[in-house]
Structure 1
Amino acid sequence: MALKITVIGTGYLGATHAAAMAEMGFEVLGLDVVPEKIEMLAAGRVPMYEPGLEELLAQHVAGFEGSSGRLRFTTSWEELESFGGDVHFVCVNTPQKRADYGCDMSYVDSAFAALAPRVRAGSLVVGKSTVPVGSAERLAGLLPEGVGLAWNPEFLREGFAVQDTLHPDRIVVGVRPEDGERAEKLLRAVYAAPIAEGSPLVVTDFPTAELVKTAANSFLATKISFINAMAEVCEAAGGDVVRLAEAIGYDERIGDKFLRAGIGFGGGCLPKDIRAFMARAGELGADQALTFLREIDSINMRRRGQMVEMTREILGGSSFLGRQVAVLGATFKPDSDDVRDSPALNVAGQIHLQGAQVTVYDPKGMDNARKVFPTLSYADSALEAVRGADVVLHLTEWREFRELDPAELAAAVASPVLLDGRNALDAERWRAAGWTYRAMGRPRA
């Protein structure tokens, strides 16, 4: 008999996971307490931009012609109980607390409290939310006897979430000794397809599984901030951070991925995860082990201010008043509509608040950007955004921007000056079209 799966929390993680589980052949029920979100998903639409996700939903959401009908959504805990799921994935959000760096566990706690009386003996609850180490052991105590708990952290990259769920580069499962064998057996059945394709399965204890996501994000943040620190040194010494990154990237111990200097990382995961990691280490008495993350965070945030100052300098070094600035990019990364803690939107906002007329264009993030910064101006295309601009800032590395015609844009601006905040554009191509091209950590040439 095929396993029946529930997914609690249908945001970015949960919606993707539910659709992927249906694609793998399971009957799936997704639950959320936000009716508007459930209505959208039940209609085959998603409340965020994620390539391939709506297409996947259309193949499986019940009620659509030609769909498998294996995927349904509800706001009813009673319906979840009658569904009789074998495996329950908890995918709710864990934002940063308002008052400090710590992780807000209220959504996870609420989900477990509502789920616990509605799961049957022999079923398995699986946490996928990113939580402070030690949480799983505490949450296991909320479940009734005979119900197991495993921790299965997610490693989704926005823009590649469907691919990462269906074909993960690793599957990590944390279990307790008392239900480890049964939990592992169930999750091997759930992930049978990717395991058969060669995705490695790492079975470990609760603390290790909880640490994997935060450790991975901390390492990634460190690598990004390292090359940004090198960009600062290059700017002071007259070096070229792009060639520096190329040279050290050939070292197989280092590698070339995520060594592109720019205005830093953002989004809803990386910044809050490293801060929550520091906070939890302090609670455990291991705060000195992660003091380096404070500098990683500081370097990252400093890059935004440095882009603002670079813009001021190229405009003459004084006031932004009366100047027109075009910003290409609003999302924190390409292939996403997510503007949470977006460096691009932060820079645009800072310049605007200092007196400039700022016009923003982003291929997918316009609606979300307007909600965060309604006082900025927004254009329907890159060409319209740069019209009459004194300087153009490239702040999110969308492919569309790499494919722009520099000559066409040069004819529209007041002054052909480009600041590449992502070191992603072809400098020689833009200079050949008459642009003054500057990038962080590179010679002015």
Structure 2
Amino acid sequence: MRHRAVRLWTTAPAAVVALLLFAPAASAHTELESSSPKDGTRLTHTPATVRLTFSEPVDLPDVRVTAGGKRLAVSRPDHGDRRGNGVEVSVPRVAGQDRLSLVWQVRDMEDGHPTSGTLSFPLTTKATDASASDDAAVAPTPSDSVRKAWAAARWAGYLTLALYVGGLVFLALLWPHGAQDRRTRRILTLAWAGGLAASLVTPGLQGAYGAMGALGDAFHLTTYRDLLGTEVGIVAACRVLMWVLAAIVLTALLQGGERAARSPGWRVGALAVTLGLLRTTGMAGHNAEGTHPGWGAVADLVHLLGVSVWLGGLTLLLLGVLPRRRPEELSAAVSGYSTLAGVSVAAIAVAGAVLAWQIVGSFGALFHTGYGHLLLLKLAVLAAVLLIAQGSRSWVRTRLDIAVLLRGDRATVRPFVYSVAAETGLVLVVLAATSLLVTSAPGR
């Protein structure tokens, strides 16, 4: 077992480095590639339209262009836009100014992150009956307070997802009798309520951030209505629906107890709902960035599942199994979870390497971008978690049988409890780093 752990420690980092060294360039968020007329071109008169070409396909509701604070109409070009990444902006005639300034904003179709900029066109003539303005328009920037609130909501969403999904897996595979435990039932109920609340609040914060609004805009009905017209909003609505369906699975478990946890029908239903929750959560991240979005989607699903099984199992182990100190439960649940956690960590390592290759795009980006720095911080905390987890596995190998023979003696079990508690706390820090990564732009 120890040799296997050493091989994992040496193989996983080597895989990450190799993938990043030979990775193709990853795409960042939607950016403006060109405009017609070109930015800075001196014009003799105000053009009827200005054509904008973006680096990725865009939806018209996601594009906002203003001039002098007034929003301008955008439409699809009549020709030359096979990829769907071009728009035409209808520009009104400018009187009394020597410069036409357009401020553009666009929201990424995949994850809702905003980008913005300005276009400025000097005019050779101007009306003499109005004062000229030489002040260049300033592109808006996303609110930092909205981003922090969004990151906090994403952290709560990841935590509740892990507790719910991981808790169900733990009960179904290792501890069906735990469905009768009051603490376990309370954890799953709170996880479901928190997951539903996070899924309702997060779209408003994401919409306000994408529209570069204030924190109060996150709770306006118009923010939700505007977001629902986009791909990001549709995914958010599907996630809310999956949490509603999760209530049915949870209710069946609470009513049926151990019998439901052992039932093939309940397990199939729980599997379908948990896969839906994992997929709709992953679709709001960066896994579609890069040249192989299919690989990114699969890796993200495996990564989320591995983290959920790991953290959810740790929580039920710490707050459900260990306080009871029943020998038969310690023997079955602890040893079984040790194996399950090992598989989960291996899945997290492989899937994380694929996601790093997909999103970061190069080894140098780890050290020269804010996103890369956050990823390195997450990896450092994860390494500390794995060191503690190795200590827990060592206790299982050497002390579990003694604890069972002593019928869950408190002094014998206490070191394992401390180790599991420390491991759980650091995994929460890993989730916080993940939330910051999801709300940050790759390559910046």
TM-score computed with the length of structure 2 as normaliser: 0.26
The answer to which structure has the higher helix fraction is 2
TM-score computed with the length of structure 1 as normaliser: 0.26
Greater relative contact order structure (CA < 8 Å, 6+ sep): 2
